Amino acid sequence: MADYTKEIERRRTFAIISHPDAGKTTLTEKFLLYGGAINQAGSVKGKATARHAVSDWMEIEKERGISVTSSVLQFHYEGYCINILDTPGHQDFSEDTYRTLMAADSAVMVIDASKGVEAQTRKLFKVCVMRHIPIFTFINKMDRDARDTFDLLDEIEKELGIATYPVNWPIGSGKKFRGIYNRESNQVMTFSDTQKGTHEGQEENVDADKLVERSLADQEQVDTLGDEIELLDGASVSFDQDLVDKGELTPVFFGSALTNFGVLTFLEHFLKMTTSPLPRVADGKEIDPVNADFSAFVFKIQANMNKNHRDRIAFMRICSGKFDAGMEVYHVQGGKKLRLSQPQQMMADSRHVVQEAYAGDIIGVFDPGIFSIGDTVCATGDNFQYEGIPTFAPEHFARVSLIDTMKRKQFVKGINQIAQEGAIQIFQELKGGMEEIIVGVVGVLQFDVLKYRLTNEYNVEIRLETLPYEYIRWIENKDEVEVDKIVGTSDMKTVMDLKERPLLLFANSWSVGMVQERNEGLRLAEFSKN
């Protein structure tokens, strides 16, 4: 039992969030470099000869230089076992990110030093706040010209409504970037060239008063640093670990992921300030990660990670206990006992079979088509459900039809599998079949991904016709109302989802209010829970 407790206590599971292009995937690569998981860090916008980032494994990701699905990476560092959930930054894939945040215990927010807080950062941050998880901020790209440091902190506080505590402080930016001052030790960390960040750099700590003597900075920069630190000590809040744990105070770090500078310091501080896996709520009770038997929930399903095998992987976050390969578990939603087959841990698309895993870990198991997002599995004898993961309302709709009707079977299989992953939501006409379906997505880029994946993974060509609908509502009390007798408006359409739940589509928000007025007792919801 003691070993088992120790294993759980050394786990850290966090998600990295940011606006596109803030450097999130690059930062992930550098963590892996320090953890010894890779020998040379890749980059997202690499030359033809350069490596692609490990976490971008789909062809479409390598083509466009963006992440479109979350990936899970595990590595070991200084006695800790670290699970990183790298999320897509692009807003069109935010649904995947929301779900991934449900599996993390803390979040690392990457901010571009020249741009500050951007739209997507705001959105994702709100999800973190909703869950009250600790948030750590890494202000990236200090090797380029950055905005005033105080302005950046001020913006984080105003825009996101969270107090900041800078753990270190930059000296200059862009070409004049000289290093980072550590407030605790009164030392400045300087760094050497890291061959564009592909290798670990030599970082050196120098006393702040010796910078000029060693020609590492000019007198003006040292004077500016003295003034800024004085101002900072007088104005900023003091460090409070309790507030960090509640998600009300964010420790801030500076650096450059591209050149590896400041990444190691950040990682070491982060590991000290975060906690081991936290209890989760199931059926209104907290499930203790250490004392309880094995339990986990599915937060992501990914089809076709291996083209040769056409497989489906259900990603599970283990919430309590220990998992052993071959153990029998109970699938609560399916009401069945089963063995989780081919349990594996990932390094993006490469994987290895695991014999055991502990609370905090993420495992992928082969899914024969029985799991849905939000499902709970637990030790046999237990029967409880973790809280469902919200399904966000799509904002763009298109009618999808098949070009070659002979390929109906592949089309139905492909579209269902991609929908079960949660990348798209599919709806059918009330009396219609699967030949023509309506697809709803959070961002229009998802349509491109759908087209690409159906062509490349299922050999199916489709036609997409965009529809004018922008609003969708689930009927909460579907058993109390006659759906086909709802008095609607001219722009309303009734459809059903995969679970045969009725939904209403509207072209404008006025119609939503109108339908509620005309149908007394009708209750509509903006999102459903898986």
User: Under DSSP, is residue 193 helix (H, G, I), strand (E, B) or coil?
Assistant: coil
- Number of helices and strands (H, E) in the chain? 12, 33
Q: Which residues contact 4 (CB under 8 A, 6 or more apart)?
A: 290, 322, 358
Tokens of 152: 């950046």
CB 90 within 8 A of CB 74: no
- The annotation status of 295 as a binding-site residue, yes or no, is no
- The annotation status of 89 as a binding-site residue, yes or no, is yes
In Å, what is the CA distance from 204 to each residue of 183, 239, 269, 488? 16, 25, 17, 69
- The annotation status of 25 as a binding-site residue, yes or no, is yes
- The annotation status of 327 as a binding-site residue, yes or no, is no
Strand 71-77 versus strand 376-379 pairing type: unpaired
Angle subtended at Cα 137 by Cα 388 and Cα 122, rounded to the nearest 5 degrees? 55
User: Under DSSP, is residue 105 helix (H, G, I), strand (E, B) or coil?
Assistant: coil
- The annotation status of 86 as a binding-site residue, yes or no, is yes
Strand 163-166 versus strand 135-140 pairing type: unpaired
Tokens of 75: 């590595």
Tokens of 521: 């007792």
Q: What is the DSSP string of 109-166?
A: EEEETTTBS-HHHHHHHHHHHHHT--EEEEEE-TTS----HHHHHHHHHHHH--EEEE
Tokens of 97: 């990110």
CB 8 within 8 A of CB 360: yes
User: Under DSSP, is residue 20 helix (H, G, I), strand (E, B) or coil?
Assistant: coil
- The annotation status of 21 as a binding-site residue, yes or no, is yes
- The annotation status of 141 as a binding-site residue, yes or no, is yes
Q: Which residues contact 237 (CB under 8 A, 6 or more apart)?
A: 163, 164, 165, 249
Q: Among 354, 186, 189, which Cα is nearest to 261's?
A: 189
- The annotation status of 269 as a binding-site residue, yes or no, is no
Helices 263-273 and 24-34 cross at an angle (nearest 10°) of 80
Radius of gyration of the chain from its Cα atoms, rounded to whole angstroms: 25
CB 496 within 8 A of CB 430: yes
- The annotation status of 293 as a binding-site residue, yes or no, is no
- The annotation status of 251 as a binding-site residue, yes or no, is no
**Cα torsion through 408, 409, 410, 414, rounded to 10:** 100
- The annotation status of 404 as a binding-site residue, yes or no, is no
Rounded-to-integer distance, Cα 51 and Cα 196, Å: 13
- The annotation status of 130 as a binding-site residue, yes or no, is no
- The annotation status of 90 as a binding-site residue, yes or no, is yes
Residues placed in the known binding site: 18-25, 86-90, 140-143
Residues placed in the known binding site for GTP: 18-25, 86-90, 140-143
